[in-house]
Structure 1
């Protein structure tokens, strides 16, 4: 008999779906005025971001994200985790962050690891440099004494990039790529300049060294000179090819290009306290309003690709950096707080509302301005939502430190070593060869030649002949005498050359003497 109290299956399913939908739709009800709300939501967003990272697991490589993410985005992600600690005080991810930042430094502690030569550009290296600069400014826990320090790493990145300043084309600027064979070597892009500019400005502020500020000024003037920055509307364009002497601009606007220039301008304003830099900063902030759309034009949008659905994996993360850097500038230029915070506040509410994706019902998508989840998930989407959410805490957060105002990170003004001016990667780091290596190479060569001769001797035998193998070979002796004489000479040559070949392959690691570049000086601290 049917239970009269039993709820029909269809009703139960519909009720369950309704409850699930209701729970998902209210997953993040962010209150930007409540520290508890912000930190609670940030904690969950950070947990989901770190879920993409496997570099701390057995058998994985620290500092790398899985495909399809490039190396640079892992460096940017470590910057977000530093921000998470800075804003919330939660040190849950400090160990994996420090591990990643130290594992990827490369042979000369400048974020040029050998395993990234096929993809590393100046902008990629720059993002790692900006992350360790944040670590220095925020007093993120310092590495062990026998490891490179945050400030020293940032200085090394800056030094290697300053040595690549290219006046052969476009009268200056950094190329997008470091190595000649990588696609984009003939393109000078704004983000490479912006990273270099912002890093130089922040180093000037942290160390008090005018040389860094001079480079920042030089980079700014170059950006204006090639019209990458439009001084009418203060838009920042993407870049240009050297083949046109940087005269044919790529007019796309991305959030991170504008954000990087805004960040550097704010640091320079704080360093110089000049009206010139205040005006430059304020103009760039005004220009960045192009990235805010929606009914009230206050929701951050990647305008170059969101509306047409063409944003790639890299571009999914760009809003993270504009969010981070707009919040940052309020500490160096407090007058900007009332200008930028309403935009960040509105964007954070919109971003949090659409984080209803994934199996856990709280993953964040890319698009914030249509009041619904767009169905995408990824490192970039998660980083962007987390950064704009945490930005609400900037008002009650401490200002970035400097060397004479509480900063403890140790510097190395000569950082970069052999990578200064390098346009070819290091070869394998073999140990110096010794007598045993030479002898082994010679024996191996003799064995190879003997094997070849033995094979040829077998081919000379005539299986239909009535003569035995010895008689056949004896008969071949005089006709082949010239051959054996040549072979003997070859064996001698190869044996002697074994050590030479080994020596050629066994490139010794070069010393740490600095190359003098450009004006013959290296910025110091």
Structure 2
């Protein structure tokens, strides 16, 4: 009888542990605004727990290893979204501090501590965070500091100068400098992020030049084969082969960045049928990334080999689906159910860690899969808080309430050449900014609006 009793005791103990975990799990009711905000708060808090840049002596804007600089920019973009959706200003000061510390000497997100390894996509994720701050009326930086819109314009302008016609009839290379691996690769995310920024700047400023660049990028990606007729978005191509061969792997964030770019072009053109058709094409092919309407990173979740970067990709698809549903309202009934089903599945996967609320990578399993990190938290955060689009106000433009100061010429004379690189280690001056900026950037939240179609 003793073995039976031992098993009984173990079973009871396991039952108790599972019950505790269930109690600690993220509770999400998509019909209850407070529930969504509460879940987002819990997830955001754990995401920020990985960040150390606000500490005296650390570097604002940098995540510790194994995370790369670009993902830090993406994370602060998620925190800008978090403030807009929830109204919680807990992370506003560290977000402003990080963005301003990483602008670099020419105010174009080419900081000395990153430039020698920086790619166009890396720079773009910081530029897109600044652009979100402008669109969403995130509190403006103090006078005399770089402003959100001007920072986004600087990134855009530095990248237009890199449009490369020496191969593949145009496009952006992945890497900025020839000494970095990947310089001969024209990847979809670098070009897609440029399309993303160009289309959004067109809507925000009303400037046709940005729209012209967006069209140019769409047409180039289509002509070269980064996008095929079925709206598959492939990873990229080797420009030493003149882009005659594609790497056909597909990632959620490539489809997402073209989705939101097309939505902004639909908005900018007053709802043109051409851009509506393109949106329908992209949305129709999102099935590549869905299981029972739940998002998954099919290229790496199935073989269980997602790297640190790839664990965050679903965050950007969710972020840009939400923006698309508002910039192009006819897409709402197509995209909102995906956000809802995915959010419910993501919450069910947030039962790990010591608090029982750490989020896993795989949402399709119905449970925590043991994978934790910034990317997992950011993905769950974006897909859950995106379900607040029904109550959040809309994005602004320069003529509809926007307050961020722009500079159309920002970045036109600031592109760094290889001879300008700082080869040394991060200096004490770089690190000192954490304590200084914390004092300078004490911010008060002011009212903002988000995701309104103009």
For normalisation by structure 1, the TM-score amounts to 0.77
Q: Does 1:265 align with 2:262?
A: yes
Q: CA RMSD in A?
A: 1.6
Q: Which residue of 2 aligns with 1:146?
A: 144
Note the C-alpha offset of 1:12.
6.9
Q: What per-residue deviation string (whole Å, max 9, x for no partner) do you get for residues 41-88 of structure 1? A: 110000000000000011110000000000000000000000000000
Whole-Å separation in 1 of the counterparts to 2:146 and 2:108: 10
Between 1:28-37 and 1:137-146, the stretch displaced more is 28-37
3-state SS of 2:354 partner: coil
Counterpart selection for 2:183 from 157, 167, 185? 185
Task: Quote the residue 1:198 is aligned against.
Answer: 196
TM-superposed deviation, 1:116 = 0.8
Distance (whole Å) between structure 2 residues aligned to residue 118 and residue 14 of structure 1: 56
Alpha-carbon separation, structure 2, partners of 1:419 and 1:285: 38
Q: Is 1:251 the counterpart of 2:245 in the alignment?
A: no
- Separation (CA, whole Å) in 1 of partners of 2:320 and 2:49: 24
Q: CA deviation at 1:92?
A: 0.3
Q: 1:341 aligns with which of 336, 339, 361?
A: 336
Write the deviation string for residues 439-476 of structure 1: whole angstroms up to 9, x where unpaired.
Answer: xxxxxxxxxxxxxxxxxxxxxxxxxxxxxxxxxxxxxx
Query: Which residue in the other structure is 1:329 paired with?
Result: 324
Measure, in 2, the Cα distance between the counterparts of 1:360 and 1:28. Answer: 10
Q: For the Cα contact (< 8 Å) 1:114–1:425, is it kept in 2?
A: no
- Aligned residue runs from structure 1 range 284-363, under 5 A: 284-293=282-291, 297-363=292-358
Contact 2:124 2:193 in 1 (8 A): yes
Match of 2:363 in 1: 368
Instruction: Determine the structure 2 residue equivalent to 1:494.
Output: none
Q: Displacement, 1:174?
A: 0.2
Is 2:116–2:421's contact at 8 Å kept on the other side of the alignment?
A: no
CA offsets, 1:259-309, max 9 Å, x none? 00001000011001211111111211111221001xxx2110001110001
The count of aligned residue pairs is: 417
CA distance in 2, matches of 1:235, 1:243: 23
Report the TM-score, using the length of structure 2 for normalisation. Answer: 0.89
Q: 2:375 aligns with which of 362, 380, 383?
A: 380
- Of 99, 102, 107 in structure 1, the residue corresponding to residue 100 of structure 2 is 102
Residue correspondence of structure 1 range 419-430 to structure 2 within 5 A: 419-420=414-415, 422-424=416-418, 426-427=420-421
Runs (5+) with no aligned partner, structure 1? 1-7, 430-525
Between 214-223 and 369-378, the greater mean CA deviation after superposition = 369-378
The Cα of 1:391 is off from its aligned counterpart by 1.1
Distance in 1, matches of 2:383 and 2:422, equals: 43
Asked whether the equivalents of residues 178 and 423 of structure 1 are also in contact (C-alpha less than 8 Å), the reply is no
Correspondence for 1:495: none
Q: Give, in whole Å, the separation in 1 of the partners of 2:388 and 2:11.
A: 40
CA contact (8 A) 2:203 2:268 kept: yes
